Amino acid sequence: MSLESGPAGLEDDIVSQLLLTRGVEHEDLQRHRSPALRDFLPDPSEFRDMDTAAERIAQAVLSKETVTVYGDYDVDGATSAALLIRLLRELGLDAGHYIPDRLLEGYGPSGKALVELGESGSSLVVTVDCGAMAHEALAMAHEAGVDVIVVDHHKCSPELPHTVALVNPNRLDESDLAASYGHLAAVGVAFLLAIAVVRTLRERDYFANRKEPNLFALLDLVALGTVADVAALHGLNRAFVAQGLKIISRRENTGMAALIDASRLKRVPICSDLGFALGPRINAGGRVGESTLGVRLLTTQDPDEARQIADQLSQLNDERRAIENAVQEAAEAQLERQHNRSVHVLSGTTWHPGVIGIVAGRIKDKTGKPSLVIALDEGGNTGKGSGRSVSGVDLGAAIIEAREKGLLVAGGGHAMAAGLTVERDQLDRFADWIDERLASAVASAGAKQVMQLDLAIAPGGLMPDLVDTLEAAGPYGVGWPGPRIAVGPVRLVKADIVGTDHVRIIASGQDGHSFKAIAFRAAEGEMGQTLLHASRDRQFLLAGRAKIDDWGAQPQAELHVEDAAFAD
């Protein structure tokens, strides 16, 4: 049977089931089948301080003020800064940028930098992806007469810093409707602000003799920042990414096109490419290189400059991988002493602060528990840490609570990721506290960790058109998991190790069909060892994600294995 046969088509049935199992109501299927911005965008005025922020930026445009966008050094910060800079450029204002150095300045706006920006002529500074908890720095800016607007998505304390406006769906005083958008990345909040600014200027007849900016053209930045920041891909974020991928495919952004080429992608980027190919290169500048490279790449209109920066970021990304591997090996060596912990807190004096977030994510994936990786300074007195959490465990809230209890010098974040600064003599106390604080939540989350399967098929059903059908319910990511399928029963024709520790498989079913599969980073684990040493007469059910292998002359479907079970 064709996947598109029948009145509704089998494709419609599969896509509908995928949407329903991800929480979509039956009457809302059509809206989610092809997520468009018009169906998901809220009125920006729903958010506190949004209109105030838009009015202040509009005034800066009308008065030709000097404006600086102060961004974080990661992908969300770079894309948020690039979005506002490109917007202001189209509005006739050439805004500057300031991206702090991760090692020398650390996360968030510094009072010294804000004051110096004011002294150099900036009458307005817009911070993006940072600032929600920068009380001291923003107080210094206020005293120096520098207007600051904060555009952020990280958790806030009840007492807000002194700003002209603080736009953040995670403010504790937000309405229920605005708070429901707390899953947005900062670049998503920045896009809503862009809508509000253009609307404000339209009301002032600013576009009577000039063309309005094409806000849809900025969605490539929104998609990249949203996916790379691991924001939950449901609701508005799905629309952002779905539409942003269309913009990316047009290659109209000079820097984005150069980034795609440097990533050696030979096809139109898909959602996973944003997180695994493009995003890491932007991040590499802030992690182990020059923090301004990302925003410079995404705002340049010079193809030669774009190509040069993109190549530089690719080289830095290779360096980052080598540094990351060394830190990960050292961190994993400490895990044996923490097998009873609910939260892993790992630290070292030679660890590069630029990769600790990535390593924390790797440890979290390996153990299924929240993980914090801390790089101590050379004297071992103070540590900068980064953490990653699992679904159902709010790490950011715990870090803020630890800071308020005096266990941390600084700290903040959101549910799935957080950063901190800790004194060495408080490290053990903090580790004990957060382990106890999150033990119940981690246990509850662990009890719910079962692999949900969307489809079970015989090997002959693993075809490219099935993969295309499954992708139709995307884009997939955190909060909107990609479909998992079970294939089998199968016998393993071949199982060996490729790369560092990936298990490569050729499997054959009773229906006479065979297919290729791969289990990434699995060779040393129980599943990998079982597959590598199992008798070729044993039958298995293999579960994972169906993907397209387009390396050969003819695209074929393959399975990225995440679990396996004996079928006999």
Is domain 455-566 classified as CATH 2.40.50.140?
yes
Q: What is the pLDDT of residues 306-338, one digit of tens each?
A: 999 999 999 999 999 999 999 999 999 999 888
Q: At what angle do helices 186-203 and 219-228 cross, to 10 degrees?
A: 150
pTM, two decimal places: 0.85
Question: What band does 9 get if pLDDT is binned at 50, 70 and 90?
Answer: very low
User: For residue 205, is it left (φ>0), alpha (ψ between -120 and 50) or beta?
Assistant: left
Q: What is the pLDDT of residues 398-416, one digit of tens each?
A: 999 999 999 999 998 888 8
pLDDT at residue number 12: 57
Q: Which of 4-18, 209-223, 235-249, 267-281 has the lowest mean pLDDT?
A: 4-18
Q: Which of 17-26, 41-50, 230-239, 448-457 has the lowest mean pLDDT?
A: 448-457
Q: Report, as an integer, the average pLDDT of 351-374.
A: 92
Q: What is the pLDDT of residues 157-171, one digit of tens each?
A: 899 999 999 999 999
pLDDT at residue number 170: 96
Report the topology of domain 44-314: inorganic pyrophosphatase (n-terminal core) (3.90.1640)
Q: Which residues are within 8 A (CB) of 547 and not within 5 positions of it... i.e. 6 or more apart?
A: 467, 557, 558, 559, 560
Question: What band does 473 get if pLDDT is binned at 50, 70 and 90?
Answer: very high
* Pair 161, 139: CB distance under 8 Å: yes
Please tell me the distance from the alpha carbon of residue 419 to that of residue 76, in angstroms, as a whole number: 15
Coil vs helix vs strand at 37: helix
Report the topology of domain 334-447: Diaminopimelate Epimerase; Chain A, domain 1 (3.10.310)
Tell me the C-alpha to C-alpha distance, in Å, between residue 151 and each of 54, 63, 472: 11, 22, 33
Domain ranges of the chain: 44-314, 334-447, 455-566
Question: What band does 519 get if pLDDT is binned at 50, 70 and 90?
Answer: very high
What mean pLDDT, rounded, does the chain reach? 92
Q: Which residues are within 8 A (CB) of 97 and not within 5 positions of it... i.e. 6 or more apart?
A: 68, 69, 70, 71, 81, 85, 292, 295, 296, 299
User: For residue 130, is it left (φ>0), alpha (ψ between -120 and 50) or beta?
Assistant: beta
pLDDT at residue number 452: 85
Q: Report, as an integer, the average pLDDT of 241-245.
A: 97
Whether residue 7 is predicted with pLDDT greater than 50 in this model: the reply is: no
Q: Report, as an integer, the average pLDDT of 39-47.
A: 97
- Tell me whether domains 44-314 and 334-447 share a fold: no
Q: What is the pLDDT of residues 440-460, one digit of tens each?
A: 999 998 876 678 899 999 999
Q: Which residue has the higher pLDDT, 370 or 289?
A: 370
